[in-house]
Amino acid sequence: TEPIRVAAVDLGATSGRVVVAEVGPGGARLDVVHRFANTPVRLTDGLHWDVVGLFREVVDGLRLAVRSSPDLAGVAVDSWAVDYALLREGRMVSTPFHYRDPRNAAAVETVHAKVDPAALYARNGLQHLPFNTLFQLVADGAHLHHADTMLLVPDLIGHWLSGHVGAEVTNASTTGLLDVTTGGWDTDLATTLGVPPGILAPLVPSGSRIGGLLPHVREEIGGHDLAVTTVGSHDTASAIAGTVLGPDDAYVSCGTWGLVGLELERPVLADEARTAGFTNEGGVDGRVRFLHNVMGLWLLSESVRTWEREDGRPLDLSALLAAAAEVEAPLVFDVDDPRFLAPGDIPERIRAYAAEHDLRRPADRAETARAILESLAAAFAATVDRAAELAGRRVRRIQVVGGGALNTLLCQLTADRSGLEVLAGPVEATALGNALVQARTLDAVSGDLDALRALVGRTLEQQRYLPRSVHSKTPLVARKVM
Ligand code: LRH
């Protein structure tokens, strides 16, 4: 079979990209043709996503993709999880909320009063995150009754591209309304919580053809049609599909969040998994993503945003990270403390945390950055350990993928803190996972997830980090492997 070219649309919580991927039996090659910021907007009723603006960027990106690859065959969309649009007769009835909007607190209590956390976990297998879709839907209250359909963000973009209405399963698994045992919508749970089950769109597995481009979209990208298919539309599902996992590997999919865990065949629903904050999200091909959300590089990017506002100009991140690498005896704090979830002055919140816990407060930006990376690495290491213990698996190596794979200090600290070898890359694991599944759906490659990973594994370049003893002064050097 000949290689195929497809466009992977990957919308992250801080930036989006359209990637042209060439995929065939010889492997995959990625070319980012369009990159754009994803900047939330605060309106009178709270923090929202500019989904219409994002759709315009997607169409612009597809136009560039078709121009660079006139034989482009398909497109599929993935994005961050849990957030959604409400529609009535095809029209959006409100602007989608951002999951970092604090409106869900009351809804969490309402839900837990009706279905306690343990019972909820037994049904949906999800770690408690206050922004899981079901809490947001309950927070929507009466607004829900103006809608006939809820579409999660990637399904919404797919709908605007193709007209198709559906709920791709990997992302549907992050709503809290999917039954972890049957894989179907838990309509009883929805009804109990006052969510009209009729708004839940028909489930669609990843790897389905859902149509072609709508005529006006086709026209906007130069008169070219594309097969629109589903992939792991939850970005983390695509990221893990694009991670070349060995049998004893854990992963850290590190971008805005650090998603840390294991790929399993079956969910772990033991109560210890719930209290340890582990989730059982749906992966591509029915695999289970057993993981915990660690706060992630959000802490650093949001700190940088604060500093850039103070300075009124862009900050030199590589200089900051170089200074951070030199810091001695850094502060280690609990990155998962809920105070770090909402946008705002993260450095000030870290200082407050240190003061409350009688720890030394970071004195400057380098110390703050180091505290963030050191604490993330510590959380990654502890989470890998706990995941292995809960799943009864042995872990010998950690794969770090996503933008965090470029952060050499973070990767080295993760190796140091875990005592395990760290392999970093691919940086664009999400786009890669998206493209691999598309290529299989369009018959350019075949096989299960491991066969797809093996395809790219042969040519993948990764950086290797070996654990240094915590007190040694071994310089920070990444080694190229493979
Ligand atoms: C990462 C991610 C993560 C979700 C969060 C809302 O982008 O999709 O897996 O928990 O965003």
As a whole number of angstroms, the distance between CA 308 and CA 303 comes to 9
Query: Given this model, what pLDDT does residue 458 score?
Result: 86
Query: Given this model, what pLDDT does residue 130 score?
Result: 96
- Confirm or reject: Cβ of 261 under 6 Å from ligand 1: no
Query: Given this model, what pLDDT does residue 482 score?
Result: 39
Q: Whose CA is nearest to atom 11 of ligand 1?
A: 80
ipTM of the complex: 0.99
Whether 333 and 376 have beta carbons less than 8 Å apart is answered as no
68-106 pLDDT, tens digit each: 999 999 999 999 999 999 999 999 998 999 999 999 999
Query: Given this model, what pLDDT does residue 472 score?
Result: 52
Q: How far is the CA of 370 from the centre of ligand 1 (A)?
A: 24
175-231 pLDDT, tens digit each: 999 999 999 999 999 999 999 999 999 999 999 999 999 999 999 999 999 999 999
Q: How far is the CA of 141 from the centre of ligand 1 (A)?
A: 24
- Confirm or reject: Cβ of 235 under 6 Å from ligand 1: yes
Q: How far is the CA of 220 from the centre of ligand 1 (A)?
A: 30
Element (H, E) at 473: none
Whether 166 and 210 have beta carbons less than 8 Å apart is answered as yes
DSSP state of 234: B
Q: How far is the CA of 12 from the centre of ligand 1 (A)?
A: 8
How many CB atoms lie under 10 A from the CB of residue 101?
20
- Confirm or reject: Cβ of 398 under 6 Å from ligand 1: no
- Confirm or reject: Cβ of 283 under 6 Å from ligand 1: no
How distant is the alpha carbon of residue 379 from its chain centre? 17
Q: How far is the CA of 20 from the centre of ligand 1 (A)?
A: 23
Query: Given this model, what pLDDT does residue 459 score?
Result: 86
Best CA proximity match to 10, nearest among 292, 241, 288: 241
Q: How far is the CA of 68 from the centre of ligand 1 (A)?
A: 30
- Confirm or reject: Cβ of 82 under 6 Å from ligand 1: yes
The amino acid occupying position 82 is: V
Cα torsion angle, 279, 337, 239, 479, sign: negative
Q: Whose CA is nearest to atom 2 of ligand 1?
A: 80
Could you list the active site residues? Answer: 235
Cα torsion angle, 364, 366, 368, 370, sign: negative
Q: Whose CA is nearest to atom 1 of ligand 1?
A: 80
pLDDT above 90: percentage of residues in the chain: 96
Q: Which of 49, 80, 155, 279 to mutate for ligand 1's pocket (most ligand atoms within 8 Å of CB)?
A: 80
Q: Which of 14, 84, 126, 256 to mutate for ligand 1's pocket (most ligand atoms within 8 Å of CB)?
A: 256
From start to end of 288-429, where are the E strands?
288-294, 397-401, 421-424
Q: Which of 127, 257, 295 to mutate for ligand 1's pocket (most ligand atoms within 8 Å of CB)?
A: 257
Structure tokens at 346: 């993260």
Per DSSP, the residues of 15-35 read EEEEEEEEEETTEEEEEEEEE
- The segments of the chain whose pLDDT lies below 50 read 473-475, 477-482
